[in-house]
Chains A and B, each alone.
Chain A
Amino acid sequence: MNALEASALSKKYRNQWALQDCSFSLSAGRIAAFVGPNGAGKTTLLHIAVGLLHATSGSLHVLGGEPAADEEMLSRVGFVAQDTPLYRNFTGEDLIAFAAHTNRTFDTDFTRDRLRSLDVPLDRKASTLSGGQRAQVALALALGKRPELLLLDEPLASLDPLARREFLGALMEGVAEGEVTVVLSSHLITDLERVCDHLLILSNGRLQLAGDIEDLVDDHRVLVGPRSTGAKRRAIAGVESVVEETVIGRQATLVVRVDGPIVDPKWEEYEVSLEDLVLAYLGRKQHGAGADEPVRAISAGRAL
């Protein structure tokens, strides 16, 4: 059973499609980076997964069932919304009690110990805590529920680098034991690199790429070589598709998906970094990369 399974998932708001035809599966135990620019539809998808929104068409199965189908399902999924909404005049202890009273199984001691070890004061109102502390509280509450699936919507967005590191450390520690599937959405891939082993890229409501990071990095290359003289680039042996093309002077840099070895000596081959992979897929227009794409320096990975 997959933790998440989407099939032609679509969501329309009035006249705009927030999600279009998204299909993917996320296996249990993965820690997935859900990446895309603001407005791409990440929050929409996560909200559908936890039952806050209803899809317009298609389906999204969560742990094999419908989102928020019943209280049983609700208890297996942990969620932290964007901007970590918490009751402003509740103290940390109040919030822990709230979670204990509204969840079937809640590990109060675990949550309390965790927050104490992070030096988060439990006797002050939530509105007086810093952004980083609020994020830690929200995370601790979600983990205390002992969910099978944890969905976090832009948890790092308002945190300074140190807080981000502490948050991710706390998150990893929380899921180290046990098979918890985690989905973290963000518009920064760099923070998530060390933590995630699966990638989902969403742009303009469409899923651009999905897969285990190891496989995706293996399947893509950066190629540096001569710019194409014709209107359309001729096929290169071993290249399944060109994701993005950047031209500077007479040199072209391509991010490509490969299906075989690159033997053409004109092309220098480099490993693609995760960041470049994400940027390449976010940058491409719907009908393929155009020659008028803005120039962007690609930091090549290892030469192959």
Chain B
Amino acid sequence: MTWVVWRQHRQQAIVAAAAFGAIALFLGITGPAMSHTFHVSGLAACVAQHVDCGPLLDSFDVKYNAYQFLVPLFLILPALVGIFWGAPLIAREFEQGTFRFAWTQSVSRRRWATTKIAAIAAGTIVLGVAAATMLTWWSAPLVLSHTDKFVPGIFDLLGIVPIAYALFAVALGIAFGALLGRVLPAMGATAAGFVVVRFFMTIVVRKHYLSPMRAVSSGPFGFNDAAPRGAWVLTQNTIDKAGSIVSPGGGLDFQYLSSHCPGLPAPGSGAPGSARAVPVLGKDLVFQCTAKLGLRTSSTFQPLNRFWTFQWMEFAIYVVLAAALLGFAIWRVRSWSR
């Protein structure tokens, strides 16, 4: 039966291997160069000291900022596996009627389905592990220099979650294929389903895996230590001495400032809360006012040391979803009656 699965899907496997090879080639060519620059320019050392690396970072960014456009592409890769490997797996046999040939040899439906699914899942995991490893290695300089690895979008490209996304996408594809029985509708449904679930999980659910922590900045507005370095900041507000929110989303409300600090010019000389307005008014005057009012920044966040916990939790959730979908697909195959 394993020969059968290989023979049926070898073309897909070869195409996937070729595509993967192309990506690996790209990463392999650009990665070392980027890493080299990262170290030789002194940016690596600077970043390790947790200080502001302004000019070094700027020149690094100038060279490599374009790579941020690759991020959406890498996010889509798992979906492609689901669409092109998962959706046709069972749907094509239903659509072309070949299941009437396959299910009347001497293999039970259950063995047929589980062998096919297991083979594709194994292939996906292998591909996923290889891709995740490569991506993590390649993006290290970018991630280290920007300390935003916990941010949605970057979190999704690092660690082990890409493997789980790929597995989930394939399971979704297989399930839709088994449900709809036609390849193109299954592909479309898989694409849409993947986007919806990923979006929902990333934007709505992820922040709640563990209760967010709260912190208030140690000093008046301007001290950027409300949240520790590398944390995933969920909300940020400017609060007054009593703790009530003065400017939701952080920043400064100049209306509020000028009404509480006589001597400050009325707003209109710049957009309220915008940093650019400050130089116009005189940074010192504003600073005096905020200190007098006791304004601080309060934030809720997930600290960086929870990065791996979150990775494992998200990995587990997607794997459980995948398992449920595959279970559904097998049930559907066994109860197919046409």
Taking A74-B104, A87-B101, A103-B106 as known contacts, 10 extra A-B pairs with beta carbons closer than 8 A to each other, sorted by chain A number, are A50-B103, A51-B103, A52-B337, A53-B338, A77-B104, A85-B97, A85-B98, A85-B100, A86-B101, A99-B105
B280 to chain A, nearest CB (A): 71
CB of A87 within 8 A of CB of B106, answer: no
Chain B 89-121, CB-CB to A under 8 Å as 1, else 0, gives 000000011101111111110010000000000
CB of B7 within 8 A of CB of A94, answer: yes
Kindly identify which residue among B3, B7, B338 contacts A52, using a CB–CB cutoff of 8 Å: B338
CB of B7 within 8 A of CB of A90, answer: yes
SS of B interface (majority): loop
CB of B98 within 8 A of CB of A87, answer: yes
Q: Does B235 contact A (CB under 8 A)?
A: no
CB of B100 within 8 A of CB of A87, answer: no
- The complex places the Cα of A75 from the Cα of B1 at a distance, in Å, of 15
Kindly identify which residue among B4, B96, B104, B338 contacts A101, using a CB–CB cutoff of 8 Å: B4
26 residue pairs of the A-B complex, CB under 8 angstroms, read: A50-B104, A52-B103, A53-B337, A53-B338, A54-B337, A68-B108, A71-B107, A74-B107, A74-B108, A77-B104, A78-B104, A79-B100, A81-B100, A81-B104, A83-B97, A85-B96, A87-B8, A87-B98, A87-B101, A94-B7, A98-B7, A98-B105, A103-B105, A138-B101, A145-B105, A145-B106
- The complex places the Cα of A99 from the Cα of B102 at a distance, in Å, of 9
CB of A104 within 8 A of CB of B100, answer: no
Chain A 81-102, CB-CB to B under 8 Å as 1, else 0, gives 1010111101000100111011
CB of A74 within 8 A of CB of B101, answer: no
- The complex places the Cα of A145 from the Cα of B107 at a distance, in Å, of 12
Q: Chain A residue with minimal CB distance to B110? A: A71
With A85-B97, A87-B98 known as contacts, the answer to whether A75 contacts B103 (CB < 8 A) is: no
- The complex places the Cα of A78 from the Cα of B98 at a distance, in Å, of 15
B313 to chain A, nearest CB (A): 41
Residues of B within 8 A of A103 (CB): 105-106
Q: Does A109 contact B (CB under 8 A)?
A: no
- The complex places the Cα of A179 from the Cα of B338 at a distance, in Å, of 30
CB of A97 within 8 A of CB of B7, answer: yes
- The complex places the Cα of A120 from the Cα of B8 at a distance, in Å, of 22
CB of A101 within 8 A of CB of B1, answer: yes
Tally of chain A residues near chain B (CB < 8 A): 31
Q: Chain B residue with minimal CB distance to A151? A: B104
Q: Does A177 contact B (CB under 8 A)?
A: no
Q: Does A292 contact B (CB under 8 A)?
A: no
- The complex places the Cα of A71 from the Cα of B111 at a distance, in Å, of 10
Q: Chain A residue with minimal CB distance to B5? A: A101
Kindly identify which residue among A47, A52, A86, A104 contacts B106, using a CB–CB cutoff of 8 Å: A104
In the complex, number of A-B residue pairs with CB atoms less than 8 Å apart: 70
Q: Does A123 contact B (CB under 8 A)?
A: no
Q: Chain A residue with minimal CB distance to B102? A: A102
Residues of B within 8 A of A98 (CB): 4, 7, 105
Residues of A within 8 A of B100 (CB): 47, 52, 79, 81, 85
Residues of B within 8 A of A78 (CB): 104
The 8 A-B pairs with the shortest beta carbon distances in the complex, nearest first, are: A102-B105, A75-B106, A81-B100, A79-B104, A85-B97, A103-B106, A74-B106, A102-B107
CB of B98 within 8 A of CB of A86, answer: yes
A102 to chain B, nearest CB (A): 4
- The complex places the Cα of A99 from the Cα of B111 at a distance, in Å, of 15
Residues of A within 8 A of B96 (CB): 85, 88
Residues of A within 8 A of B105 (CB): 74, 98-99, 102-103, 145
A118 to chain B, nearest CB (A): 20
- The complex places the Cα of A51 from the Cα of B98 at a distance, in Å, of 15
- The complex places the Cα of A74 from the Cα of B111 at a distance, in Å, of 13
Residues of B within 8 A of A79 (CB): 100, 104
Residues of B within 8 A of A51 (CB): 103-104
Kindly identify which residue among A50, A75, A97 contacts B3, using a CB–CB cutoff of 8 Å: A97
B228 to chain A, nearest CB (A): 57
Residues of B within 8 A of A97 (CB): 3, 7
CB of B338 within 8 A of CB of A81, answer: no
Q: Does A173 contact B (CB under 8 A)?
A: no
Q: Does A70 contact B (CB under 8 A)?
A: yes
Q: Chain B residue with minimal CB distance to A86? A: B101
8 Å CB contacts to A: which residues of B121-137?
none
- The complex places the Cα of A98 from the Cα of B3 at a distance, in Å, of 8
Residues of A within 8 A of B98 (CB): 85-87
B17 to chain A, nearest CB (A): 19
CB of B108 within 8 A of CB of A70, answer: yes
Interface centre among A53, A70, A75, A98 (most CB of B within 10 A): A98
- The complex places the Cα of A51 from the Cα of B107 at a distance, in Å, of 12
Residues of A within 8 A of B111 (CB): 71
B8 to chain A, nearest CB (A): 7
Q: Chain A residue with minimal CB distance to B106? A: A75
A105 to chain B, nearest CB (A): 8
B156 to chain A, nearest CB (A): 36
- The complex places the Cα of A153 from the Cα of B101 at a distance, in Å, of 12
